[in-house]
Structure 1
């Protein structure tokens, strides 16, 4: 029962706030799921300190791959622990981190009407470069969720990760903000650089796996489908769909209770084995 309540908490708190709602407190840490881990502090070029958890591959299987997870707009990295366990259980090293202003990372003034800050891309870039430096000779990629896919796009366009996985992929922040205004009559603001965001996607050359819910309203399946279908030659892009709404991939891609995300993990394994 406790494990079910924990999972329910994680899934509820990764649902999109559609504006920033960070939490400073960790309701759970990896040992809540009996995951061995270590805490590291990653410094950004502008001297922010990012709290991070590194979870090594479990079960005797090592894919020689590090996955850096870019969280969404609410809560903190503790809400992605079931996703981290899903990946670690099939042999991936997972690096979770909190943006500045989230969790136990450096203080940062946050306007809760803002969708994201450009500094969050700086944070992901620092975490990605840390992972690549710490584990040379292995693959290093990014897994972004919701708002985190914006940060992942920025980093993938410049730093050439080995792969990019994104659930609830944001195709255009400006269009997303307009959709939020229309659906919820809620004003959400963007950094000035957001107008240049659509120019980043064509620059991503690494393989991409986009995970999309059929009932997702704000990051609709049609957006991910278009991104996959408009790939140029030599740009490998794949689409994984699930029956559900935004943030529902883990539960939807589960074959039986207690083995959360097993179908999700299998899809990631297939994608990264090509």
Structure 2
């Protein structure tokens, strides 16, 4: 029985943060009667990303949304709908290997790919050159870590909303070992170009005015202390950590949609 329990823990621990790409969109903006524009954004190595742009006439901020590597952007339209209703324009995109973005072989037991950082850069560059909005980077899971790692020093990002970002890849390797998760990390991912804890210690981008971290108290991969470590490492004056009680990892939106949206809206208004 003890061996069975250990095997079950290993499977649950791994599945909780394994990449799970889906190519087919089960839902599209048409299903929500949403006004949108389909974008094709070039990235590195000849990759093209599928993205959807949702305009809003109620405000001048544009949310650049990066998901957690599970499913595809069609699975997160409820988040988009709420943000658009709050007056934000939104661009949400699929990494290569997801949805209708370019083919890319993905091992679900690799926690993240360096190419996903390139994809964020490509979307940021497109938005910065195409739209005349103040940019807010928002992501959850690996999308939160990428938004923070890449967005922190971008010239035209005013705020970053990071829902359960990864913190330090060196520590993460130890964590995977401790919870018996059969997960791998790309070689060299611990260096300054990818590791959030290193990056937030640097000089922030010229227009970056604030950070909001969202965290669930029952997250077994990253603790409140981990989030506070990121918070304390940055020199920005305006930085907040909001914790959802009883929320499991990367479930902060579904546990309390109204409070989740309220935290985002209040943060952006305070920038």
The TM tier, using the shorter chain, reads 0.7 to 0.9
Q: 1:48 to 1:80 in 2, by over 3 A?
A: same
* Equivalent in 119, 143, 160 of residue 148 of structure 1: 143
CA contact (8 A) 1:69 1:142 kept: yes
Q: 1:225 to 1:264 in 2, by over 3 A?
A: same
Specify the alignment match of 2:172 in structure 1.
176
1:111 shift after superposition: 2.2
Specify the alignment match of 1:38 in structure 2.
37
CA contact (8 A) 1:73 1:115 kept: no
The CA deviation string for residues 166-220 of structure 1, in whole angstroms up to 9 with x for no partner, is 1111111332233233213423233323343132122362211000001111122
Specify the alignment match of 1:122 in structure 2.
118
Specify the alignment match of 1:11 in structure 2.
none
Q: 1:217 to 1:224 in 2, by over 3 A?
A: same
* Counterpart Cα distance in 2 of 1:241 and 1:267: 10
| Matches for 1:193-212 after TM superposition, within 5 Å | 193-196=189-192, 197=195, 198-203=197-202, 205=204, 206=208, 207-212=210-215
Specify the alignment match of 2:230 in structure 1.
227
TM-score, length-normalised on structure 1? Answer: 0.83
Aligned length: 248
Specify the alignment match of 2:83 in structure 1.
87
* Counterpart Cα distance in 2 of 1:116 and 1:52: 20
CA contact (8 A) 1:23 1:102 kept: yes
- Runs of 4 or more off by more than 4 Å in structure 1? none
* Counterpart Cα distance in 2 of 1:248 and 1:46: 33
1:112 lines up with 2:111 in the alignment: no
The CA deviation string for residues 116-150 of structure 1, in whole angstroms up to 9 with x for no partner, is 111111101111111121212x2112101101122
* Counterpart Cα distance in 1 of 2:25 and 2:253: 21
What SS class does the counterpart of residue 214 from structure 2 fall into? strand
Specify the alignment match of 1:6 in structure 2.
none
CA contact (8 A) 2:94 2:100 kept: yes
Runs of 5+ consecutive residues of structure 1 not aligned to the other structure: 1-14, 254-260
* Counterpart Cα distance in 2 of 1:194 and 1:252: 32
* Equivalent in 110, 126, 131 of residue 127 of structure 2: 131
* Equivalent in 250, 253, 263 of residue 250 of structure 1: 253
Specify the alignment match of 2:8 in structure 1.
none
1:82 shift after superposition: 1.4
What SS class does the counterpart of residue 25 from structure 2 fall into? coil
TM-score, length-normalised on structure 2? Answer: 0.84
Runs of 5+ consecutive residues of structure 2 not aligned to the other structure: 1-13
Specify the alignment match of 1:241 in structure 2.
243
